[in-house]
Amino acid sequence: MARGRLNSGSKSEAELPKAKINRQSIQNIRKLVSYIRPYRGKFIAGMLCLFLSSLVALAFPTFLGALVDTAQGKHSNKLLPATLQGIGALAFIVLFCQAFVSFFRILWFVQVAERSLADIRRDTYFKLITLPMNFFANRRVGELNSRISADLSQIQDTLTTTLAEIIRQFVLLVGGIVFLAIVSIKLTFALLLMLPVLIVVAVFFGRFIRKISREAQDKLAESNTIVEETLQGIANVKAFVKEAYEATRYDKILRDVVNIAVKGAKFRGIFASFIVFCFFGAVVAVIWYGSVLVSHGDLTIGALFKFTLYAVFVGAAMGSFPELYANLQKAVGASERVLEILDEHGEDVSINAEDNLIKQKIYGNLAFNNVVFAYPSRSELTVLKNISFTADAGQRVAIVGPSGSGKSTMAALILQFYHPQSGSIYFDGLDAEEYSLTDIRNQVAIVPQDVLLFGGTILENIAYGKLGADKDEIIAAAKKANADQFITSFPEGYDTVVGERGVKLSGGQRQRIAIARALLKNPAILILDEATSSLDSESERLVQEALEVLMKGRTSIIIAHRLSTIREADKIIVLEKGNIIETGNHQELIANEQGLYRYLSQLQFETAQS
């Protein structure tokens, strides 16, 4: 039966959906099986060991039966020694061989499974991170994560245990029945009439009980969600005085959990009684019938003993198949979901860093020419309609417009996260299609609104802009980004761990880290997605100063939310519902009394004043 997993990443494996096993699904998983190929030597050796150890296991009831008969002075098995000592010694030698073989079976199987699984995990992960942005738009991170953890753990389980168990149980079943028949055809016949009926009933009962316990687990998970939600939003709970409401909600769900669990316990009790009664009943019946045969001289006591042990083997093997088959179905389902990712078409980005070095330099001239774009996931909504503009090398171009007008979408198109349905984007007068994807992304940097820091040190986070940068370079970038001061104020300085498990940095501090990152990257084109939530004035001054340093000497596309920051821009593009409705510098645009820019400026000015 399935044992504990060696390296599983998920507890939700029990809920993994099953898939039908048919010719098509087997064809599908062939590709995954090919991951075993590099380790096939060990895999075959492991299989041989498994086969051997299963065969040897079949010998033990014979040894034990012979021991009982020999003790009574009968030499029933001519293939075995005639003395108790002889049989005992032989049994121990065989036992030793089996232990030896079992060790290598487990070692080799686990080695093959772990290595091939690491290969599949690596490939799946590489594929995932090189998939186009659109792929991520339709899926939740949790779901993708579970493919790498839960689905692959299920496949790993199948490779390490389920497959081995199926083979072993099959050998025990077939071998066991053969040996049973050799001992006594009559008894075997009696047993084979009873056993399958018992097993079918037990399996159905077992499934029913599992369903109930899953219900209880789901309810419990629901109750955990309440705990999680309320603890995460504890400030809200307190502010709205919702303690009593949450307590009632939690109490109700706990009551449901208890009710379901108690219902499950009743069925489990019935099941246990049934198993005890029927299983032991069957044992009693077989031994009773066997004893009758012994009393008539048709069977020796040793043979009856041997028979009972083989019967246990056969029963256990039969009983294990439904679960093993269910595991196999889950593994097929998991394989199909993993293959879905492996079969996706990735972007043209190599996973070798050397292949991604800049081959074609970009000097910073950017142009949109009649760009029309709709997100593939929402093709009916044209987000950008015939956008044309130019930004010459070194210019500052600001994009302004109401929320949802398409500003961030333009940034995504410059970064080649998506491609226009019609029209083109030019870099230095050359169509973006003429460049490799990595050449463009390597020479465009973005400082986003909300900066994500990776779990690691500040040093590592800045170095993300240029892998291989030395510490002096990183510190120089941090100094230019006005970040050095706050970093060195931490006791661990640049080695301070940030991210989910580390020190929490303020919005302004994170932005300055992102600026240092971008400085290190030294891009020809810079995209600034201005933070909407305003920083305090000191923090804003530090960020603004750092941005000035960063923008010097490169083309900057500024997605502006606060119009006060873009007065000096060379060009301001006003976007509304995906159309450019005004272009010019601040003076020109403000002069247009009917213009949206003037209206938005006034609005912000008034809001700031009030």
Ligand X SMILES: Nc1ncnc2c1ncn2[C@@H]1O[C@H](COP(=O)(O)OP(=O)(O)OP(=O)(O)O)[C@@H](O)[C@H]1O
For ligand X, the binding residues in 119-138 under the rule CB under 6 A are 137
Nearer to ligand X, 116 or 405 (CB): 405
Binding to ligand X by residue 417, rule CB under 6 A?
Answer: no
Closest CA to 164 of 334, 337, 327, 333: 327
Q: Find the binder of ligand X among 77, 184, 365, 409 (CB under 6 A).
A: 409
* Cα–Cα distance, 168 to 517 (Å, whole number): 57
Nearer to ligand X, 379 or 610 (CB): 379
Interface region with ligand X, contact rule CB under 6 A, candidates 161-169, 370-378, 420-428, 566-574? 370-378
* Cα–Cα distance, 290 to 310 (Å, whole number): 13
CB 558, min distance to ligand X, A: 13
* Cα–Cα distance, 19 to 330 (Å, whole number): 6
For ligand X, the binding residues in 536-595 under the rule CB under 6 A are none
Q: Find the binder of ligand X among 127, 219, 407, 510 (CB under 6 A).
A: 407
For ligand X, the binding residues in 73-112 under the rule CB under 6 A are none
Nearer to ligand X, 100 or 599 (CB): 599
CB 559, min distance to ligand X, A: 7
Closest CA to 530 of 407, 389, 373, 393: 407
CB 134, min distance to ligand X, A: 8
* Cα–Cα distance, 174 to 119 (Å, whole number): 35
Binding to ligand X by residue 603, rule CB under 6 A?
Answer: no
Pattern 322-361, ligand X, x by CB under 6 A: ----------------------------------------
* Cα–Cα distance, 97 to 31 (Å, whole number): 36
| DSSP state, residue 160 | I
Nearer to ligand X, 243 or 450 (CB): 450
CB 239, min distance to ligand X, A: 27
Binding to ligand X by residue 41, rule CB under 6 A?
Answer: no
Interface region with ligand X, contact rule CB under 6 A, candidates 319-327, 396-404, 480-488, 566-574? 396-404
Binding to ligand X by residue 375, rule CB under 6 A?
Answer: yes
How many chain residues are in contact with ligand X, going by CB under 6 A? 13
CB 448, min distance to ligand X, A: 11
Q: At what angle do helices 301-342 and 84-130 cross, to 10 degrees?
A: 10
Question: And the tokens for 544?
Answer: 């603004």
Binding to ligand X by residue 403, rule CB under 6 A?
Answer: yes
Closest CA to 526 of 448, 444, 449, 440: 444
Q: Which helix or strand (DSSP H or E) is residue 405 part of? A: none
CB 436, min distance to ligand X, A: 24
Which ranges in 343-429 belong to alpha helices (H)?
407-414
For ligand X, the binding residues in 136-155 under the rule CB under 6 A are 137
DSSP E strands, 342-441: 366-374, 382-391, 396-400, 422-427, 430-431
Interface region with ligand X, contact rule CB under 6 A, candidates 180-188, 354-362, 377-385, 476-484? 377-385
Binding to ligand X by residue 405, rule CB under 6 A?
Answer: yes
Closest CA to 361 of 524, 530, 489: 524
Q: Find the binder of ligand X among 377, 422, 485, 534 (CB under 6 A).
A: 377
DSSP line for 530-575: --SSPPPHHHHHHHHHHHHHHHTTSEEEEE-SSGGGGTT-SEEEEE
Question: DSSP 3-state assignment of 426?
Answer: strand
* Cα–Cα distance, 293 to 287 (Å, whole number): 10
Binding to ligand X by residue 378, rule CB under 6 A?
Answer: yes
CB 410, min distance to ligand X, A: 7
Q: Which helix or strand (DSSP H or E) is residue 16 part of? A: none
Interface region with ligand X, contact rule CB under 6 A, candidates 76-84, 186-194, 340-348, 403-411? 403-411
CB 373, min distance to ligand X, A: 9
Nearer to ligand X, 309 or 514 (CB): 514
Q: Find the binder of ligand X among 46, 290, 315, 406 (CB under 6 A).
A: 406
Nearer to ligand X, 414 or 520 (CB): 414
Q: Is 565 left (phi over 0), alpha (psi -120 to 50) or beta?
A: alpha
CB 405, min distance to ligand X, A: 4
Q: Is 112 exposed, middle or buried (0-12, 13-18, 19+ CB in 10 A)?
A: buried
DSSP line for 80-99: S-SSHHHHHHHHHHHHHHHH
Interface region with ligand X, contact rule CB under 6 A, candidates 89-97, 145-153, 374-382, 506-514? 374-382
Interaction site with ligand X (CB under 6 A): 137, 375, 377-378, 383, 401, 403-409
